[in-house]
Each structure stands twice: as structure tokens, then as C-alpha cells.
Amino acid sequence: MIRNSLTALIVSFILTLAIVSCGKKNQHYIEKIIEKMENGGTSEEIVEVELYTVDSLNFVSLDSLGLTKQYINAWIKLYVDKSGTEKLVRDSKRLIGRLEKQSPENIEIFIKVIAHNNALREYPDATAAIVAYAYGIDVPADGYSEIATRLLVSTRLPGNKAPQIEGLQSMTGVNSTLILFYDGSCGICQHLLDELADNYSKLTERGIRVVTISADGSNEAFEQNIRKYPWPDKLCDYQSFSGVNFKRFGIAATPEMLVIDKDGMVVDQYSNLQETKLLN
């Protein structure tokens, strides 16, 4: 028994060493690629790196090494330096298509790096085309798309200062603000409104302000749906998705729930109240 236990321990130790060694080799390989992208290589090497990234790069491994942002930003630079944003869009769409099959959870990470890349700020239409493709919307790199632009605006919100909310008084003096964009004819939206109502007293006890912004196109439809809810901040400009608040927050579909902290920064976007952890 002792011999068997000792053998198992040795095997486990050897496997651990092998995994660590493999991880270090992989990290060294990725770091060499990043260095090549940042400092330049031969045209053949750059083409090879572009193909490797689109067709083979393991995003799970890349993320575990903490190199995702650095790698993708260096990869973007290859295209921007050559004024190749249309090719960047084509390759990004191919990459997103591969991630959908292999590791869909990494698509969000990828498009957030794309959305926040400083070099791409000069190419908003191309950037929006990449982000929109992750949501199943295929638009060209060289033309303006309203829905793609809104998705880009929305993707950039977390971690940044929240846009001004038209029709709302000062947001000072609260710990957090929970915002729900909704459509009165949307069943899921109705469920979220009811969820907020059921927990409204708990939210106010925690210093959380509730703001709802409606996409309803008429006062009658708006009032009929919203009057029963207890919070005072119920906004609607009757412009539906063309309303200024919907544009500022990049709302392309409802429901959309966001949390803004006491400093006016967007914390994140959420599917429901439980995800916000405001009641924890």
C-alpha cells in the first residue's frame, strides 16, 4: 500500500512538472508572437501570425496567461499600420465564427478589447461592424450602420462615465442607480419591472435609485403600463428607440439593465436583478 501511494505521488508530481513546463513553453511562444507583432517581422512572418490568430489561437489558454488584451491590441496594430481595417473586419468575423464553435464565452472578451482599442477610434464604422457581428448582425466595414453603432456604444459603457440621462434630476446622494430600458409590449421587460417592484423597498433601503426608461411611443401606452409601479423616476419621451437616452446608451434591443455607481461610472450590463448582486 505504501509503495502504491508513493508511486501515485511520484506520477502526480511528474505530471504537475510536465503541465507547468508546457504552460511556460506556451507562454514563451505567445510572448514571442506578441513581440513580433509589436516590433515588426518579415511580411511572411506577419501573414503567418495573422492566419494563426484567426484559425488556431487558443483563447482559453491566452486568457489563462493574462495576455489577451496585449495580444489582441498588438494584432489589431498589424492591420491599422497598413490601413487594412477592411481586412481586419473580415478576419475578425472569421475569428468570431471560430470562437462560436470552440469557446463562445471568449467572444465577449474579444469584442471588448476591439471596442476599447485606441487605434480603432479613428475607424468607428469598422469597429462597429466587428462588434455587431458578435451579435449576429453582418454589416460592411466601410459604411455607417445605426444598429452596429449602438452595439459599439453599448459595449464601451462598462467602466466608463455614464451618459447624461435626459429628463432625470441630479443622481447625487445615492449609492447606486439601477436603470432599466424597456418596451411596454415586451414580456421579459414586464417580468423585470415586476421584479423591481417586488424588491423596491429592499433597494431603497440600500440607497439604490431605480430609473426606468420606456420605448413606448404614446403617453397612453406608457401610462397604462407604468402607473402601478412605486418608483418616481419613470421616463419616456415617446420617441421609442429614436429617443435621446436610447441613443446615448446605445440601446438596440430591450430589456437592457445597467448599474451606475455613486461616482457615475457604469458598472456593467445585466439580464436580471439577481445578476446585479445589489441585494446581496
pLDDT digits (tens, 9 = 90+) for 214-267: 999 999 989 988 999 999 999 999 999 999 999 999 999 999 999 999 999 999
174-201 pLDDT tens trace: 899 999 999 999 999 999 999 999 999 9
Strands (E), the chain: 176-182, 208-214, 233-235, 256-261, 266-270
* 151 lies in the same domain as 180: no
One domain for residues 130 and 181: no
Whole-number CA gyration radius for the chain: 24
Domain that holds residue 251: 176-276
Q: Are both 210 and 123 inside the same structural domain?
A: no
Q: Is residue 163 part of a domain?
A: no
* Domain-terminating residue out of 97, 123, 156: 156
What pLDDT, on the 0 to 100 scale, is given for residue 67?
A: 92
Half-sphere exposure (Cβ direction) of 5: Cα atoms closer than 13 Å? 2
**Is 169 a member of any domain?**
no
Give the residue from 156, 186, 207 where a domain finishes: 156
Indicate if 185 and 141 belong to the same structural domain: no
Domain match, 150 and 185 both: no
Amino acid letter, residue 146: E
Q: Helix or strand or coil: residue 266?
A: strand
CATH number at residue 250: 3.40.30.10
CB burial string 126-158: b at 16+ within 10 A, e below: bbbbbbbbbbeeebebeeebebbbbbbbbbbbb
Into how many domains does the chain fold?
A: 2
Cα torsion 150, 144, 84, 152 to 10°: value is: 0
Across 130-207, the runs of DSSP E, i.e. the strands, are 176-182
- The pTM score is 0.85
Q: Which of 127, 156, 185 is the last residue of a domain?
A: 156
